[in-house]
Structure 1
């Protein structure tokens, strides 16, 4: 509904813009951009990070406003169950009767009142009412005003801890997760660890980058960032990684990124190529490689010497891999496209020194980056994904030469996709034995943090609370000679 119809009136005497009218369209505010993104994510099933990036590029907001829009989008999606739990007490006719955009507007505004103390309450309420007036009629704006002002009056009560006897419901409502997901994690990890997983999944992800070791050192990279006013410190988890402090803006816009001096990558993800430990001159296969982060890391560790096949199912993603390799100056990468389950027939002979299967997964380890995963996945999805992983595993191992290394990784914390998947794998493929002989630079921080102990057998489950990085599972095997 346009602004004229929404207001219920039309200004008379206002001239229509002529073709020669040079007036610029009105600049959208951070909250308007956030609302537009939330509606598209909810209605069209768009990925929050991709939709938000497009919206921010089009809007050309200041860095401060872009940070606010980002906070509102991710926070509103992360906390939507808890927000709805609070709003249900204030919306007389029920949330399910609201137009989708009104529901998202109330969620976004309630998020500011309940979670963002630095934002003045009157600013959150007033702009919500203005947006409601522009998009709807006076009745809607009045309802929005009434609900939010009622929340303001009851704010102290609304911020009290949620008291529930049932631990599943208590954790689910407190941290805004679906009950089925909380129940699975309690069964796998216990109540205390499951609660920590949920809490950590709501934290804002920090930016981290992987220094291109073929071009410069970590120290030099940190100096270059400092000249841009960006503070970075060495990763406590991943060698060659830098953790960026605060809101650094879009790091891909820096000249040094375009020159291939570093890549953006989560610290947990950086471990995968390091666990593979490829040597210069080896023949290596990355089965599911797009967009190319682990592929290019493998190539850097190989000193850009040898042969590295980077496969992805989707042909259009092949260019993503090629572009990354070109930017980083890596000529060893051969990007191909096709079903990973067909790789054994395309590359007969089982002669790869290292094979990496970074498998499709439920993605529960990256919820802080893609919070809509909470609301779009189901238990049935996990079962389906696990079957796909098994099929890919059975094909990928055919490509490992005797004495070669096979690494399996996922960005999830689901035991069905990780530990249980590996137990089943070893029963079907007894020639593959767990390999705990990982590089010491990988093992040292894991031991120091208590993530692995003396019984380490070649597989690790990183949880989001361990290092503030993504949840990741990595297992390494050696094929018997």
Structure 2
């Protein structure tokens, strides 16, 4: 099997797991990419998978229009391979001869020799005619479209368009290892020109993603990959020097690490309910050289009796589990996996986190409630309800760096200044 066919086989298997088994794109790529020795092949597989999922609705419409019978459910890998072929010809614009040839060879390598002719015919048709056009919002499930239209009627089209695009690569410079300008110079020397973002002191933006192995000093902890909207959490919380801080949902650890990069004397407790995910926090801290004095615990943050020692926190970060509708461009499989019924459980988890952790906050302390959602029920309305039932909670205004003021927190929508969709609400406990 040629290297080109091997790449298409890998992409088809990833997509099959994501599309038909409900697996995470991020998790499947993390498993599949290290098996490909050539970094160019790894980059191609990743690009194909993202393009295929972003254009999933268009690909499905084309298959429905061009096939007399749908691909059987038992043959999901063949269906996934057709998505691989369409993505190469359409979104990625690869050379048709190479794309078609490698994809047909991949069909044989996957044990689908009898369908190789079908794959060839469908890809040749896509090359000649182009794929079937669908409305941009067709990628979004109807229940989610309805919520978005209700929450953001004027912004709906922009949210959909931004979520279907490619995100820039945002870097966070570890200020304990040197300044942002110095690191920007190092990137330029490596052939990776970057731009600064006003108001985001540690952020640099690369227009095109690059493997972290190309980032100077990545293994030494000089830099991390983190969207600027997520970096803004450190500014929104802004704990006092040496404060006792709780990160209640810490994995994979980027936000905690950012706080520690800024103040190595923070007394930080990082919680996560999943011990395996907490190990990722530990690895993040180790790479960055932070957190020597930080404490990590695997625990359910809402079950405070099992982990809290009775000492109040000066600052609490609740980066709550959410629908992740603000980061669809980075995780396009969200639109395949998210169900309307999921939202009730997420709203309940968010409410329980706020109610359980608020009593642990010292008088005068601040709690930052944050999500990567754009749904008002998870954001503005969740905060409004909390304020209504919590007399000693005060909403602290934030500045325009954090997006539009909703009246109960600030909302950044996907694509604004090249950033992810994110919500921030800073709550202070009355003294």
Same fold (TM over 0.5): yes
Aligned partner of residue 477 in structure 1, secondary structure: strand
Matched, 1:204 2:169: no
Matched, 1:185 2:163: no
**Cα distance 1:80–1:355, how it changes in 2: closer, same or farther (>3 A)?**
same
d(CA) in 2 for partners of 1:98 and 1:327? 43
Per-residue deviation, 1:474 = 0.7
Corresponding position of 1:108: 84
Matched, 1:87 2:87: no
Q: Is the 8 A contact 1:281 1:305 kept in 2?
A: yes
Q: Is the 8 A contact 2:5 2:105 kept in 1?
A: no
Matched, 1:420 2:381: yes
- Alignment partner of 2:116 out of 134, 141, 157: 141
Corresponding position of 2:10: 33
Corresponding position of 2:32: 55
d(CA) in 2 for partners of 1:194 and 1:391? 30
Gaps of 5+ in 1: 4-24, 163-169
Per-residue deviation, 1:364 = 1.3
Q: Is the 8 A contact 2:404 2:412 kept in 1?
A: no
- Alignment partner of 1:172 out of 137, 155, 161: 137
d(CA) in 1 for partners of 2:328 and 2:182? 32
TM-score relative to the length of structure 1: 0.83
Corresponding position of 1:218: 180
Deviations 1:201-258 (A, max 9, x none): 111222111111122100111122223222222134622111123242224x656122
d(CA) in 2 for partners of 1:332 and 1:148? 57
Q: Is the 8 A contact 1:282 1:353 kept in 2?
A: yes
**Cα distance 1:289–1:132, how it changes in 2: closer, same or farther (>3 A)?**
same
TM-score relative to the length of structure 2: 0.93
Matched, 1:452 2:404: yes
d(CA) in 1 for partners of 2:273 and 2:50? 29
Q: Is the 8 A contact 1:90 1:151 kept in 2?
A: no
Aligned partner of residue 147 in structure 2, secondary structure: helix
- Alignment partner of 1:391 out of 352, 357, 364: 352
**Cα distance 1:458–1:428, how it changes in 2: closer, same or farther (>3 A)?**
closer
Matched, 1:46 2:47: no
Per-residue deviation, 1:405 = 0.6
Q: Is the 8 A contact 1:307 1:333 kept in 2?
A: yes
Per-residue deviation, 1:371 = 1.1
Q: Is the 8 A contact 1:363 1:373 kept in 2?
A: yes
Per-residue deviation, 1:196 = 1.2
Q: Is the 8 A contact 1:312 1:337 kept in 2?
A: yes
d(CA) in 2 for partners of 1:315 and 1:129? 43
Q: Is the 8 A contact 2:228 2:419 kept in 1?
A: yes
d(CA) in 1 for partners of 2:206 and 2:229? 15
- Alignment partner of 1:240 out of 199, 202, 210: 202
Q: Is the radius of gyration larger for structure 1 or structure 2?
A: 1
Matched, 1:289 2:289: no
d(CA) in 2 for partners of 1:95 and 1:231? 45
Superposition pairs of residues 60-459 of structure 1, within 5 angstroms:
60-63=37-40, 65-96=41-72, 99-117=75-93, 119-155=94-130, 158=131, 162=134, 170-173=135-138, 176-190=139-153, 192-236=154-198, 238-251=200-213, 254=215, 256-301=217-262, 303-330=263-290, 331-343=292-304, 346-347=307-308, 349=310, 351-436=312-397, 438=398, 443=399, 445=401, 451-452=403-404, 459=409
Q: Is the 8 A contact 1:72 1:111 kept in 2?
A: yes
Aligned partner of residue 116 in structure 1, secondary structure: coil
Deviations 1:77-98 (A, max 9, x none): 1211121112211111124467
How many aligned residue pairs are there? 430
d(CA) in 2 for partners of 1:428 and 1:348? 26
Structure 1 segments of 4+ aligned residues over 6 angstroms from their partners: none
Aligned partner of residue 258 in structure 1, secondary structure: coil
Corresponding position of 2:411: 461
Deviations 1:407-429 (A, max 9, x none): 10111111111111111111111
